[in-house]
Structure 1
Amino acid sequence: MPLTHIGILHEDPTFLIVDKPTLLLSVPGRAEDNKDCLITRLQENGYPEARIVHRLDWETSGLLVIARDPDSHRELSRQFHDRETEKTYIALCWGQPAEDAGHIDLPLRYDPPNKPRHMVDHELGKAAQTFWRVTERLERYCRVELTPITGRSHQLRVHMLSLGHPLLGDRLYAQGEALDACPRLALHAARLGIRHPLTGTRMVFDSPAPF
């Protein structure tokens, strides 16, 4: 598959910064019809050495860093593991939170009977924390800035749902008007800050939300 709709914001010998579109997997899925993905498209179109460092959900768009050699992959992976990266997401959530900002600290786990959904579980869940801030209030929904401290699957989606404000267009967690209010999941990885894997220089990249 071609690199159509995948923007390359930065390129040097050690890593790429790419802008993933919605409805594209980060890595191949298990099913035969889920082989098309961002990393495969990169590897087949000029970047055979590309290595995934972190992922975004199929429906989530936005910034990803891709390593281009084993040492860079090791160092960038360490930065994510040690929470030295800066990640900011923009989302649209249904309704109006009573406060303008807050902190969510709710443990999450996979919910096998309802796969691929995740759920809050205070006994078996893994620690998960998210900071949120309203940046714009509209008539039926609001724009929020989300900063995850941890990186659990579906963390931002489940955390906002726990407040009673599901993300617009979320086919897993939203219902009714919230689901119909946007033709796609309204979640975009808008800012990514890392240290250059070779020089250690702090670098920050931005991608405006497409909604």
Structure 2
Amino acid sequence: MDLCFCKVLDLDQSKREIIDWKKRFEIIEGIAQGLLYLHKYSRLRIIHRDLKASNIVLDENLNPKISDFGMARIFKINDLQANTNQIVGTRCYMSPEYVMEGIFSVKSDVFSFGVLLLEIVSDKRIQGLLEIDGHPLNLVGYAWELWKAGIPFELVDPILRESCSKDQVLRCINVGLLCVEDSATDRPTRSDVVSMLTSEAQLPLPRQPAFQIQELP
């Protein structure tokens, strides 16, 4: 039976331990590869527009599948972006250019993937309220403040900290923050994301992300 990934984030500690870091990284890779297919290898380029935890389902072997294409848009291969007056999707996962200007592209899905990646690493929800020094932050802002302070590992789910690959986890946090940068042109492509996750090459440093303050879903 398929399991919605959002329910995994809500499991208690004893059950979350079943999904260790190795499995979580496989889930991250699987989602990245799925988006790469939609953006690059599909006959028509597909922009999902509503990538989030509740639209990722895990099969009996905990392999991820991207689901619910009700808000997806099909691009011709040479199309780079489109504009709409009807904003659809889940606000916390939406890129700033989509929320404010109705512009969406493959980089919109990259932004959503970055949010989802940070959720998987931290076991925290983007809709949750977090604070640093009394300032309310969403998960993106919280991750950025920890990064600036030089303690990004504090973002990691405590269940994982003793058993995970620290270098691999920090690489994922770095990639997640690159994906949620304010400017779409500064975000990596889906191909770049897959390469960044699996290589040992030095990553660029992220810039300040969009939407740091707490946002309602």
TM-score relative to the length of structure 2: 0.25
Higher relative contact order, structure no. (Cα contacts within 8 Å, ≥ 6 residues apart)? 2
Higher strand share: 1
Higher helix share: 2
Q: Which has the larger radius of gyration?
A: 1
TM-score relative to the length of structure 1: 0.26
